[in-house]
Structure 1
Amino acid sequence: MFIMAVTLAYVSRSSFKYRIGLISDLLLSKYFVIWNNANSFGASTILREGNGILFMETTDRMNPPSLVLCAIESAARVYPDRPVVFFMKGLENITSEEDEKRAKQQFPTLSSYSNVYLFPLRMDQLFNNTPLKPWFDKVNPKKEVYWKHVTSDACRFALMWKYGGIYIDTDVISLRPIPQDHFLAAQDATVISSGVFGLSSHYQLAWQFMENFVKNYRGKIWGHQGPGVVTRAVKKLWGMPVFNSTDDVMCGNISCLHPQRFYPINYLSWRRYFEVWENLPTFKDSYALHLWNFMNNKGKSMVPGSHTLVEHLYQKQCPTAYEYILRNKSTHL
């Protein structure tokens, strides 16, 4: 009996030590996960507060035209206390702060802005655990007419779902801060834009955008996967907003901003940005200006000394880009 008692005591003590050791290992493992997350560097770290300004490039080009750099610089100046992140498909992996700084040095007009960050755009990872992943795995890019555009449409919805913040197209020059964090923007009386919108991360509306994108996918129709998605979702949920003045309206519990906020010059008049105005507009009702880059298929660009409206905008909203072009006589930075 004595030997049995001693044996049981030893086994119990050993079992207790094993359980304590197991718990310690689990706690230690959890600690290292927390430590690694806290000390890792990436978009999730920079955008963890959900207040980022998001831009992206869905082609492999690493020498974007000046309008792209002007759009990002103007946002960095308008939102100095918020991270401005440019996701680039052609960018190599970034795993450290030093990697990110080296990447930004490739863009001299952005390198002086401490709130601008560059990260790679990896669509297969971005679309994981979203309705977009089955579509992305199945679609054949070679058969797509507007592949870079539909992937851009898909990415903006996924980025907003994952990170939240404000998404802005790279042909949009910021003028002043958008006062709302949750908003959609009307392009005109019949279209809700996908070029600028703001939501918090994992906001259900972003998930509905992705579902609508896949369910109604028609990649051969221009705009069907971008503004078409947002417009269809808004119509289904609340009906099209009606603007009786320049005031914004509510779509459910989210602001729907008046077309004047980003589209005071409509797409049919896009050339007006590249003309000389006798009296420069104040755009007092606008937060930013969409320059309709898709319409600009002739490649019109800002020319220093032209006295056009777009030159005035560059001088005021992205002076670093403007000075760089002036010195180097190049519209590619």
Structure 2
Amino acid sequence: MDPGSIPLFMNLSDLTRLAVLYKYGVYLDTDIIFLDDITRLRNAIGAQSIDPKTKTWTRLNNAVMFFDINHPLMREFLQEYSTTFDENIWGHNSPYIVSRVIKRLGNKPGYNFTIYPPDAFYPVNWIKIPKLFKKPANIREAQWVEKIVREISKGSYMIHLWNKITRKIKIEEGSVMYSLISANCTICRNITNSHTL
């Protein structure tokens, strides 16, 4: 297979993600911090964005997916991958495949699953997340940090760190991310020195 302009490891990673999901029922990116119990999630996928007017999803994200083993939707994802593979468009073979397949299936019977709102799995999008790594500079910003930590902790199962964007950003003590990771990450030590989770 010619990997085209997308590195081969990315295409293989996309295919591996789908195979793992089909065979084992769960796929999670490694840049996820859990904030709540996920054991009750079943046949679940998260919306990354919604239309502000219609409140319907505009993009689903495949960084977090929980499905029954051999769920029929997983076969649809694998079929879509094999029939529409494009080695030259970033995201076509994995992140966007989920939205394409689910949009095409609509409410077709036999595909029981739940689409969770962005706040459940992706409470902060990739554009805004760098701000969460910065410590507050004054009382007003400290109050904002406390408010955001409460909101995310109350309404989200997890937070996606968007590592491609944040991997070189230092987690500053007192920041939203420092608070969330300190309270929820069981393997993180000395998080202010580096952000290589």
1:234 alignment partner AA? I
Partner of 2:90: 222
1:318 and 2:193 are equivalent in the alignment = no
Partner of 1:140: 2
* TM-superposed deviation, 1:193: 0.9
Correspondences of 1:1-333 after superposition (within 5 Å): 139-141=1-3, 143-164=4-25, 166-178=26-38, 179-189=40-50, 190-238=58-106, 253-276=112-135, 277-279=141-143, 280=146, 281=148, 282=150, 283=152, 284-296=154-166, 299-303=168-172, 306-323=173-190, 329=193, 331=195
1:206 alignment partner AA? M
Identity of aligned residues (%): 28
Q: TM-score, normalised by structure 2?
A: 0.78
Contact 2:5 2:88 in 1 (8 A): yes
* TM-superposed deviation, 1:320: 3.8
What count of residue pairs does the alignment treat as equivalent? 176
1:289 alignment partner AA? I
1:270 alignment partner AA? I
Q: 1:158 to 1:318 in 2, by over 3 A?
A: same
Rounded to whole Å, the distance in 2 between the matches of 1:223 and 1:301 is 27
SS in 1 for 2:13: helix
Higher relative contact order (CA 8 A, sep 6+): 2
Rounded to whole Å, the distance in 1 between the matches of 2:13 and 2:171 is 24
Rounded to whole Å, the distance in 2 between the matches of 1:274 and 1:259 is 20
Contact 1:273 1:291 in 2 (8 A): no
Q: Which residues of structure 2 form unaligned runs of 5+?
A: 51-57, 136-140
Q: TM-score, normalised by structure 1?
A: 0.48
* TM-superposed deviation, 1:167: 1.3
Contact 1:162 1:201 in 2 (8 A): yes
* TM-superposed deviation, 1:177: 1.6
TM-align CA RMSD: 2.4
Rounded to whole Å, the distance in 2 between the matches of 1:204 and 1:319 is 34
* TM-superposed deviation, 1:232: 0.5
